[in-house]
């Protein structure tokens, strides 16, 4: 099994590494390998599941043999009664299976009481074991469903890397069909839909994520759980902003509102910082388009601070930080130019 599992882990890890843009020696890859190991479970867990099914079949055959054996003993007793009657000249009327109370008592006396109790115990034990195996099989089936969803997401990521967004979206849809509340699959599907120009569909995916996040926020008690739900909601609003912005006829006001909502609900700890900086970079650029100079300046400053900190302290996201920083500095130049542009003289 190990010689099959290891290549799968490596391929899955390489796929995620390519998509994330992480270096091969970064801590991200170690985490990725842990996630990718679940793909290998498609082999190992299936073998376990198949063994359970085989065991269940064998147990069924054993129970059949057991019951058949006891039935044969009852048939032998019945035949003995029939023979006894014939030898003693007793008439046999109707179905020989119909017995008098005395005959029934005689049949049970032919069995040892302890033997009957032992049979009952064996049957009860067999039924209990069968129920336990059914529970295990159901749990295994649920595990397979989750692992299948992961496999679809990994394959979709592979297609995204190749620029085959239609195939990627199809894989993400498969994952959603397994679990319609899979926020990760919904997020990937939304971004793939944007690439394909399916903006309304993308908005639906992101709206579904937002509704899931809002539900979780209402029931979240601990700070960590709430922060994760807030991050999910923020990313959903960010996706909506991208969908509005990338339309053939962009709705820049709705894009700005979505980025503002993403910034407003972002976790107070500003983690992950790369997301926080990126949202403010997007909001700042949309604010310029709306001539919201103060809002633009505030968001672009926060974005620049975030990208600077990441560039200095987080090697895993240096490339992304540098790209975001370049976009932010460009936007700041556009903001200065827009602010200093001469206003038309009204006559």
Contacts of 36 (CB under 8 A, 6+ apart): 8, 9, 12, 13, 15, 16, 154
Would you say the C-alpha torsion 287, 289, 291, 297 has a positive or negative sign? positive
87 domain-assigned: yes
311 domain-assigned: no
Number of independent structural domains in the chain = 1
3-state secondary structure of 180: coil
- Find the domain containing 76 and state its range: 1-163
54 pLDDT band (50/70/90 cuts)? very low
Single out the residue of 119, 152, 144, 132 nearest to residue 46, CA to CA: 144
Residue 140, pLDDT score? 77
Average pLDDT of the segment spanning 301-319? 92
21 domain-assigned: yes
223 domain-assigned: no
**Residue 8 vs residue 176, higher pLDDT:** 176
Return d(Cα 58, Cα 289) in angstroms, integer: 71
116 domain-assigned: yes
Omega within 30 of 0 (cis) for the link into 217: no
Q: Give the range among 19-33, 139-153, 309-323 with minimum mean pLDDT.
A: 19-33
pLDDT in tens, 90-129: 555 444 444 555 655 565 555 555 555 666 676 677 667 7
Report for 78-87, 124-133, 228-237: range of highest mean pLDDT: 228-237
Return d(Cα 216, Cα 237) in angstroms, integer: 16
Count the neighbouring beta carbons within 10 Å of the beta carbon of residue 261.
20
Main-chain dihedrals φ then ψ at residue 343, nearest 5 degrees: -80, 145
Return d(Cα 299, Cα 301) in angstroms, integer: 5
Return d(Cα 335, Cα 297) in angstroms, integer: 8
**Residue 13 vs residue 323, higher pLDDT:** 323
Name the token pair of 307. Answer: 């990208």
User: Does pLDDT of 131 surpass 80?
Assistant: no
Would you say the C-alpha torsion 270, 273, 279, 282 has a positive or negative sign? positive
1 domain-assigned: yes
Return d(Cα 3, Cα 25) in angstroms, integer: 23
Distance of CA 162 to the CA centre of its chain: 23
| 159 touches 174 (CB < 8 A) | no
User: Does pLDDT of 49 surpass 60?
Assistant: no
Residue 46, pLDDT score? 36
Residue 339, pLDDT score? 85
| 346 touches 299 (CB < 8 A) | no
Number of helices (H), then strands (E), belonging to the chain: the values are 12, 0
123 domain-assigned: yes
Distance of CA 285 to the CA centre of its chain: 34
Residue 120, pLDDT score? 65
316 pLDDT band (50/70/90 cuts)? confident
61 domain-assigned: yes
Q: What angle do CA 288, 290, 291 make, to 5 degrees?
A: 60
Residue 209, pLDDT score? 96
């Amino acid at each position: 099994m190990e010689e099959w599992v290891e290549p799968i882990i490596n391929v899955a890890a390489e796929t995620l590494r390519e998509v994330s843009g992480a270096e091969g020696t970064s801590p991200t890859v170690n985490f990725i390998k842990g996630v990718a190991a679940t793909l290998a479970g498609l082999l190992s867990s299936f073998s376990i599941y198949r063994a359970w099914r085989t065991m269940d079949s064998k147990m069924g055959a054993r129970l059949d043999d057991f019951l058949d054996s006891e039935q044969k003993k009852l048939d032998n007793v019945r035949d003995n009664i029939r023979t006894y009657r014939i030898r003693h000249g007793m008439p046999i009327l109707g179905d020989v299976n119909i017995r008098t109370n005395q005959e029934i008592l005689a049949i049970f006396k032919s069995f040892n009481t302890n033997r009957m109790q032992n049979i009952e115990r064996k049957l009860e034990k067999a039924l209990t074991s069968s129920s336990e195996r059914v529970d295990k099989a159901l749990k295994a089936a649920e595990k397979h469903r989750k692992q299948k969803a992961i496999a679809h997401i990994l394959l979709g990521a592979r297609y995204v890397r190749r620029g085959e967004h239609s195939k990627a979206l199809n894989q993400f849809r498969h994952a959603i069909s397994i679990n319609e509340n899979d926020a990760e699959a919904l997020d990937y599907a939304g971004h793939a839909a944007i690439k394909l120009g399916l903006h309304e569909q993308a908005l639906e995916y992101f709206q579904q994520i937002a509704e899931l996040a809002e539900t979780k926020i209402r029931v979240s008690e601990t700070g960590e759980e709430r922060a994760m739900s807030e991050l999910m909601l923020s990313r959903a609003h960010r996706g909506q902003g991208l969908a509005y912005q990338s339309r053939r006829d962009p709705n820049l006001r709705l894009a700005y509102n979505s980025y503002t909502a993403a910034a407003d609900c972002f976790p107070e700890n500003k983690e992950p910082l790369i997301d926080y900086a990126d949202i403010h970079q997007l909001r700042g650029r949309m604010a310029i388009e709306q001539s919201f100079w103060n809002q633009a300046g505030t968001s672009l400053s926060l974005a620049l601070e975030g990208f600077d900190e990441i560039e200095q302290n987080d090697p895993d996201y240096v490339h992304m930080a540098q790209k975001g920083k370049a976009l932010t500095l460009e936007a700041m130049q556009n903001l200065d130019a827009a602010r200093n542009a001469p206003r038309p003289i009204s006559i």
